[in-house]
A = this chain, B = another copy of it.
Amino acid sequence: MDIPNLRWWGWGTLDRTFPLEGRPRFWPTLRAWLELPEELRERPPVPLEEIDLRPPRLDDPMLASLRRIVGEEGVRTDRRARVEHACGKAYRDLVRVRAGQVPNPPDAIVYPADEGQVAAVLAWAADRDVVVVPFGGGSTVLGAVEPPPGDRPVITLDMARLDRLVAVDRESWTARIQAGATGPEVEAQLGEHGFTLGHFPQSFEFSTLGGWIATRGAGQTSTGYGKIEQMTLAARLVTPVGILEAQEVPAVATGPSLLDVIVGSEGAYGVITEATMRIRPRPQVQDYRGFLFRTLEDGIAALRDLMHRGPRPTIARLSDGPETAASIALAHEHRGLRGLIERGLEGYLARRGYRLGPEGSCFLLLGYDGAVARVARRWRRAEEICRDHGGFPLGRSAGESWKRDRFAHPYLRDTLLGFGVMVDTVETATSWSNLLHLYEEMTTAIRAAIRASEGGPGYVMTHISHIYEEGASLYTTFLGRQASGREVEQWWEVKRAATEAVLSAGGVLSHHHGIGRDHAPWLAQEAGPIGVRILQVLKKALDPAGVMNPGVLGL
């Protein structure tokens, strides 16, 4: 069910922040990099009650008929619920909601309790020309849950009540799970049977199975457990014209894959209610360690070798020089890379060619999950491969340090926004042979765009993760000074430059965030005219009234 205490203007819950105590290097370093003013003034979000909210556009008979479907407690129209469901968690969303700009809140939030209620609500909506926005955790960074502008009333379909593990097949390592289950709900219920799904995106604590599948997401351990589409054996999509069901079998040769119409559908064709997922026994150990590489090229060569010749890692995440330097600046005094410096190792490393700083060495987080003996065997060979490429082993403490903060960084974003810092991420993927080219083109374009958009020198940092035999994903974070009063326009300028650089350098429009509304302008370039036509005819066939999440996927 719903998570109480949500931070409607930012990430997560109101009781948590990213603690900056014990991290004395953070603000001074950031101030220098971004050329921030000496005196930073915090700008708090506009209070909830001061937001100018359009009155709900569903009249009492409409609401009564909805309540007949989902029950009294299944419909909310209160201010808090409407603001919480008015947008996702992109930088662009948070800038607006902090400023009290919520022009298109849903008119009601509906909580179906089962698949039958989902189908009934879609029929209700199609009959009345009411827009339906499916909602999992609302953690989209691409505008995928934001009600579209226009005169049609909008209901948001929050899947929070469909949160159960339906069945576990211990012999076949599969589980049927309802789509509204959040990361912790998935893992807790599978954990009772000794299993894990192994899908841990940064949004893990709030995002849902249905959202992961609808957007083709990837968790931090995707190299070991697979991207969500590789984990998804079967799924059910309730569309306005009926239920589409993919078969629950290991592999099929029955024409074009219907499952792959469901995966990635982003609510444009219907609502995912349930999926059968590949699961694994909970690992005995999760042995995550750190390495330092002299150059990004060395680190990339090690990653490629691990995929080609070594034991496939559960997780691999190689930070470039700037991201490594940022980790050090952000690190807790006595932990991680910071601790290394404190222990006087910096000079020792420097003499061996490892320098720390934005132009310097690159940190690799590498990890193996599994049975103790097997993980030990894999580590022996993995360590050899890392050493072959000049990897300096930093041990398990670096891995533990990363684990501690793995879901915490979005909280830091809220802090930065409060102090006038623009911060967002871009993600893409390409082949090994194109990786450095794409990296350089993208980094250069983003830096130039930040400066051109009055963001100052900016800071751009990247990690390579989600590695494959044929290539890898790039995940880039950029920071700059907010252009006060035109924050959203400024962000669009950078986003546009980044996206165009990605596409022209051979990267994909998205590796795991999806299309939503923000990537839609570029989808035609990616999919081509025939691809767009396919998405359109599917839309017309599955959602003839056009009520399902209009605007996502450009539909």
Q: Say if the beta carbon of A243 comes within 8 Å of chain B.
A: yes
Q: Say if the beta carbon of A263 comes within 8 Å of chain B.
A: yes
* A535 close to B248 (CB less than 8 A): no
Residue among A254, A280, A526 with max Cβ neighbours from chain B (10 Å)? A254
* B244 close to A530 (CB less than 8 A): yes
* B260 close to A530 (CB less than 8 A): no
Which of the segments A157-165, A361-369, A410-418, A468-476 contacts the partner chain? A468-476
Q: Say if the beta carbon of A429 comes within 8 Å of chain B.
A: yes
Collect the chain B residues with CB atoms within 8 Å of residue A533's CB: 241, 541-542
Determine how close the nearest CB of chain B comes to the CB of A441; give it in whole angstroms. 15
- Chain A 22-45, CB-CB to B under 8 Å as 1, else 0, gives 000000000000000000000000
* A431 close to B248 (CB less than 8 A): yes
Q: Say if the beta carbon of A207 comes within 8 Å of chain B.
A: no
Contact among B215, B233, B527, B542 for A470, CB-based, below 8 A: B233
* B260 close to A472 (CB less than 8 A): no
Q: Say if the beta carbon of A174 comes within 8 Å of chain B.
A: yes
Closest chain B residue to A472, Cβ basis: B250
Q: Can you sample 30 A-B contacts with CB below 8 Å?
A: A171-B304, A172-B432, A172-B470, A173-B470, A216-B252, A216-B254, A245-B530, A249-B471, A249-B511, A250-B470, A250-B471, A250-B472, A251-B429, A251-B468, A251-B511, A252-B508, A252-B511, A253-B513, A253-B514, A255-B264, A255-B515, A256-B263, A256-B538, A257-B261, A257-B264, A258-B531, A533-B541, A533-B542, A537-B538, A537-B541
* A528 close to B171 (CB less than 8 A): no
A503 vs B531: C-alpha distance when bound (angstroms): 33
Q: Say if the beta carbon of A512 comes within 8 Å of chain B.
A: yes
Q: Say if the beta carbon of A443 comes within 8 Å of chain B.
A: no
Q: Say if the beta carbon of A289 comes within 8 Å of chain B.
A: no
Q: Say if the beta carbon of A485 comes within 8 Å of chain B.
A: no
Collect the chain B residues with CB atoms within 8 Å of residue A471's CB: 172, 249-250
A252 vs B502: C-alpha distance when bound (angstroms): 13
Q: Mark out the residues of chain A between 237 and 282 whose CB falls within 8 Å of any chain B CB in the assembled complex.
A: 239, 241-245, 247-266, 268, 278, 280
- Chain A 275-309, CB-CB to B under 8 Å as 1, else 0, gives 00010100000000000000000000000100011
- Given known A254-B515, A255-B266, A537-B541, contact A508–B470 (CB-CB < 8 A): no
* A530 close to B254 (CB less than 8 A): no
| Contact surface of A with B, Cβ cutoff 8 Å | 169, 171-174, 215-218, 227, 229, 233, 239, 241-245, 247-266, 268, 278, 280, 304, 308-309, 371, 429-434, 466, 468-473, 507-515, 519, 523, 526-531, 533-535, 537-538, 540-542, 553
Q: How many copies does the complex hold?
A: 2
* B241 close to A530 (CB less than 8 A): yes
Collect the chain B residues with CB atoms within 8 Å of residue A252's CB: 216, 429, 508-511
* A263 close to B257 (CB less than 8 A): yes
Determine how close the nearest CB of chain B comes to the CB of A344; give it in whole angstroms. 39
Closest chain B residue to A527, Cβ basis: B258
* B510 close to A254 (CB less than 8 A): yes
Residue among A432, A510, A514, A531 with max Cβ neighbours from chain B (10 Å)? A531
Collect the chain B residues with CB atoms within 8 Å of residue A243's CB: 528, 530
Collect the chain B residues with CB atoms within 8 Å of residue A172's CB: 431-434, 470-471
A513 vs B241: C-alpha distance when bound (angstroms): 31
- Given known A526-B247, A533-B541, A541-B533, contact A216–B429 (CB-CB < 8 A): no
Determine how close the nearest CB of chain B comes to the CB of A36; give it in whole angstroms. 33
Beyond the given A252-B510, A253-B264, A258-B531, could you list 19 further A-B residue pairs with CB under 8 A, ordered by the A residue number? A169-B433, A173-B469, A174-B470, A242-B528, A243-B530, A244-B528, A247-B526, A249-B511, A250-B468, A250-B511, A254-B514, A255-B514, A255-B515, A255-B553, A256-B265, A257-B257, A260-B261, A537-B538, A537-B540
- Given known A172-B471, A254-B510, A515-B254, contact A534–B264 (CB-CB < 8 A): no
Determine how close the nearest CB of chain B comes to the CB of A84; give it in whole angstroms. 25
* B261 close to A256 (CB less than 8 A): yes
A540 vs B257: C-alpha distance when bound (angstroms): 17
* B278 close to A469 (CB less than 8 A): yes
